[in-house]
Structure formats: structure tokens, C-alpha cells
Amino acid sequence: MELTSFIKRHKPLWSELERLTDALSRRDPRPSAETVERFTALHKQASAHLSYMNSNYPGHDVTFHLNKLVSRSHNVLYRDSWSSTETFIRFFQTGFVSLLRERSRFIVIAGLLMLAGFVSGFAVVMNDPQHLTAIVPAEFADIDPSKITEDRGDLHSSVDSAAIMTNNIRVAVLCFVSGITLGIGTVYLLAYNGVLIGALAAVFYRAGESYAFWAYILPHGVIELAAIFIAGGAGLYMGYVMMVPGPFSRKYRFFVSVRESVLLLLGTVPLFVIAGTIEGYITPTTISLEAKYGVAALTLALLALYCLYGIQRLRLQRVS
């Protein structure tokens, strides 16, 4: 009864995938981006169904049919009929935003973990500044907050933004890779880096230089933090599926989660490039602090607009 219900429920999806596979195999005319997105989604679902059938009904006729269908759709999906440029554009138009929506819960958790670390680090140093030496690397233990107003252009040498974020690209990759530790390593990295930023923020707050401190952190920090949250969410998701594989095998769920998480991580690369450009050409300049806050607000607005644009395109695809 369970198998019959499973087949009845998903057969329309398999039929649609088969029709699209036949149509796309002919290569002409060139498919629209919406068709490719739908085809990719159907292929992923059919692959998951095949894994279920292989685990529970390996010798069934439906398993044989699904194996053949998924193999055909895989060959069509990964052939060279669509240029890498088109694939790249499609991914950043809708694919990346779609993944962000699917993993939004884990991305939010990653942000909350860093926020918890930030609050802890800030509170500890506010209570006793001597605790700073036990939290931050040695080169930052003797930071002089007065330098932030004496020489704004020299801030990069005294409060190196990349070091404050503990080399954000490395942190993002480590947050992702640490998902293999059931997410424990990811949780630690997110919380620790939050503690680090919170401790340094407390030093400048006690010196009355909080406004200037954040003016040098946020212009590039908004994008960097968003990228770290995304990478951390990808790592947390990997750890989650290893503990809760659902009806599929743990090995299959792990490899599927790795593929999706790698795509999320790749999606953060442009964010780090933009953040690095801001950090190199805007953050260390002597423009007013208000202008720096303006840059931070602009980056946040552009991130929001990008997400809204991707969501709107996804809605249009569903309607069509």
C-alpha cells in the first residue's frame, strides 16, 4: 500500500520530467531559463525518489524505470548544450536565491550563533577589560582606541579589518567544511568569531569611540557577515542531514547536501570580492564617518534588492 501510494503521488512528476527530457534532448529550439530551472528541480526530486526506491525496492520495475529516467535527465542536464555563461547567469538570477530560501532557517541560526558570541564577548570585556587578552589574538590585545580619531587613514594598520573578522574567506570555508563534524565545528567558529568582534567592540565602546569603530567595520562588514552567515548555514545544514537523514540513506543525503552547500559557498565568492574592494578602496579612506555609514546602508539595500529580484523571478517561473 505504501509503495502504491508513493508511485501514485509522484508519477505525474516523473511523466513531466520524461516529457522535458525528450524535448530538451532535441536541443532545438534553445530552452528558456525557466524551462531549465524547472527541469533541474524535477531531476533533483526524481533522483531523491530513485534513492528511496533503491534502498527499499531495489528490484522493482519502477526502480528500473526511475534509474533509466534519472540517467537520461542527468545526461541532458550536464551536457554542453548551454554555455557556462548562461549557467552562471541563471544561477545568480534565481538559483542562488532559491538555495538561500531553502536554507534560510540554517542561515538565520548561523547569524544568531554569531550574535550570541558577540553579546558574550562584549559583556565579558565590558565587565573587565583585562579579559581582552584571553579572547583576542596577541597582536590586538594592546589596541589603542584613540588612534581611530587621531589618524583615520591609519586605522587599517592598527585595527586591520580583515584580521578583526579573522580572515573572513578562511572562516567561511572552515564554517562550511566543519559541517562534517555534525556541525559542532561550525557552531564553534561562528560563536568564537562573534566573541572576537564583540570583545573588540567593547574596547572601543569603553573609550567612547564606538561610532568611529563601526564606521570602519560596517562598509565592508555588512557583506562579509552576510557571506559568513550563508557559509555557516551551509555547514549547519550538512551537520543536520548527517544526524537526521530522513527516509533516505545517510550517505546519499550527505552527498546531496554537500553539493547544495558547495553551491551556496560558491555564491558567496562575489560577496567577498565586493567586500574586499570596499575594504581596500573605501574603508581606509579619510571620507567622513557618515559617508562610511552611507556605504554600509547602500550595501545592505543592494543585498535586499538582489534577494527581492531573485524571489520575484522565482514567482514568475512558477506562474508560467
pLDDT tens digits for range 60-89? 878 878 888 888 888 777 664 445 566 778
Terminal Cα-to-Cα distance of the chain (whole angstroms): 35
Q: If you average pLDDT over each of 38-42, 108-112, 127-131, which comes out highest?
A: 108-112
DSSP of 70-137: HHHHHHHHTSSSS-HHHHHHHIIIIIHHHHHHHTHHHHHHHHHHHHHHHHHHHHHHHH-GGGHHHHS-
Considering the entire predicted model, what is its pTM? Answer: 0.73
DSSP assignment letter at 146: T
184-228 confidence digits (pLDDT tens): 999 999 999 999 999 999 999 999 999 999 998 999 899 999 999
